[in-house]
Each structure stands twice: as C-alpha cells, then as structure tokens.
Amino acid sequence: MSFGKSLCILTLLVGTLFAVEVFSLPKVTPELKSKAQEYYNDECKACHRWERKFAAPPMKENVAQYADNPEEMVKYLMHPTPRHPETWPPMEITPLTEEQAKMMTAWLLYILSNPEDPGRPK
C-alpha cells in the first residue's frame, strides 16, 4: 500500500473516531415562525406572557437565561423539570421532540433579539 493511501485511511479513521456532532438550530424562516407561533399559542400562551408574570414566569426572562447556551434550552424543552416549584406549578406539557425543541428555541431566541417582530408573543 502506498504512503498516500495509508495516510488517507488513517485520516478517515481518526476523523471517524473524533467526529463531533455540531449543535445547530434551524434557520428562522417565515414557515418556522408560523409553526412556532402556532405552537406557542396552543401550548405556552395559557401560562406564559412575554414580558409579565402571569400563571408562569415571563417567557422573555426564561429565554434570556439560555441566550448564550441554546443547547440547554433544547434539552430543557425535551425534558421539562420544575425549576422553581415553590413559586410556580410544574409545566403541564408533553416533552417536545428534538425537532420541536430546536424550532421553539430558534424562534424564541430570534424574538428575544428582534423584539419588534410583529409575531412576538404579547
């Protein structure tokens, strides 16, 4: 076997061994916005308002906690657990799928960065 082939095989093996899954959120498109708004209105709005306390903490404050670590927000939405049970009742939602959690995280972070968006929750 030639040196070039050996090097190529070695590179592929090392790349496979150290392959890292890169976390990414979907692009916020008009379609994603529409789906996320619909989900928010159906599942979140009953308790969460964007900027004020209601039956749950303000969504803006919740989202801001994850602004630097969206992967943690996705994990939370997939496995919601009470964060402040002494203050707020636990969320009564079905855990989101990874796709749903990424969609909601992308949209909520987008809204946080674009507060004048007409689709922002009230």
Closest CA to 98 of 67, 71, 65: 71
Question: Residues 61-94, buried b or exposed e (16+ Cβ, 10 A)?
Answer: ebbeebeeebeebbebbeebeeeeeeeeeebeee
Top-level CATH class of 26-113? mainly alpha
Per-residue pLDDT of the chain (122 residues; tens, 9 = 90+): 565 565 556 555 555 555 667 899 999 999 999 999 999 999 999 999 999 999 999 999 999 999 999 999 999 999 988 888 888 887 777 889 999 999 999 999 999 999 999 988 88
Q: What pLDDT is attached to residue 92?
A: 79
Q: What pLDDT is attached to residue 82?
A: 80
Q: Going by C-beta distance under 8 Å and a sequence separation of 6 or more, which residues neighbour residue 32?
A: 26, 103, 106, 107
- Residue entry with tokens 């496979």: 16
Model's pTM, two decimal places? 0.80
